[in-house]
Amino acid sequence: MQFTAEMIAGLLNGTVVGDKNATVSTVSSIDGGKAGSLAYLTNPKYEQYIYTTEASIVLVDNTFEPKEEVKTTLIKVENVGQCVLNLLEMYNATRPRKTGISKLASIHEGAEVGEGCFIGDFTVVESTAKVGANVQIYPQCYIGDNVTIGEGTKIYPGVKIYEGCVVGKNCILHAGVVIGADGFGFAPKEDGTFAKIPQLGNVIIEDNVELGANTCVDRAKTDSTIIHSGVKLDNLIQVGHNVQIGSNTVMSAQVGIAGTTKIGSNCFVGGQVGFADHITVGNNCKIGSQSGLDKNVPDGEIRFGSPALAGVSYHRSFAVFKNLPEMATKLREIEKRLVKVEEK
């Protein structure tokens, strides 16, 4: 589908500088733009590319004034970042939506499937499962007994949802997500072996949650593991049994959360952060990448390092330990001088 500069400017309440009939059919970065693509300039350090890009149209802020000749057509808008988001959402909405139930899918006669659903090849929907209206379930998924999936949710290939788990409305579960596998619970025995502790709870995922590829959310030992509304988890994240994650918290890839830990709302967690079991992290906290938390964190705090320190303490400590090699060399020199003084 093609759009002219004039059409895009109308949608974004922008102003065309250049050819109003220039057309685009895709979106690209400004440094990799090709003919027929729409690019955008949000970071001033990329301004150099606006003079060489082959993109047919570039979005810029109203305040942008070129320092050299610009060959491409510009559209000046109030907020480039927000306008790009709006365009991507509109473009996504125009993409064809899959519907229909494959003859190769296995749907138990006791399952309920709402109107307008898509269920792909080799997907299994077990007894008493409830699939809401307009849900999309791609091939090779497993929906266990008594699972509930809210309307409008999209489930990509290879997702497994174990029995009794609940997924809310308008969620996105990317390929390989596993919801409701047993929590990691074992009791040591006198003979050195381990007895498996039954995991009898479930997982509850509220509305508008997105889980990245191969992320795993374990079922609770009792009660529920809960991912509250609006949470966004990246790929390869492990959520242990009985964990609770507050609304609108965001986590980057490879985070690991041990059992029964509670993380508040509106938190930002960097990649490869590890949370010990049975700790509580407050609301509006920020945790730096590769931090390791073994203690509670109050509301609004920032943590870095392993074990994690408060933000100011970490940066003060880093200012010291980054200089430890030079400090060690100076210390050895001082020791040598002291030896000579003592000899005299």
Q: How many CB atoms lie within 10 A of CB 211?
A: 29
Q: Is residue 174 annotated as a catalytic residue, yes or no?
A: no
Q: How far apart are the C-alpha atoms of 12 and 23, rounded to whole Å?
A: 16
CA–CA gap between residue 102 and residue 286 (Å, rounded): 44
How far CA 159 is from CA of 100, 126, 150, 170, 231, in Å, comes to 19, 14, 16, 16, 18
- Which entry of 108, 228, 241, 278 is annotated as an active-site residue? 241
Q: How far apart are CA 253 and CA 11, in angstroms?
A: 35
Contact 251, 288 (CB under 8 A): no
Judged by DSSP in three states, 96 sits in coil
Closest alpha carbon to 246 in 221, 278, 220, 280:
280
d(CA 88, CA 95): 11
**Orientation angle between helical segments 80-94 and 5-12, nearest 10 degrees:** 110
Quote the CA–CA distance of 170 and 153 in Å, as a whole number: 4
Catalytic residues: 241
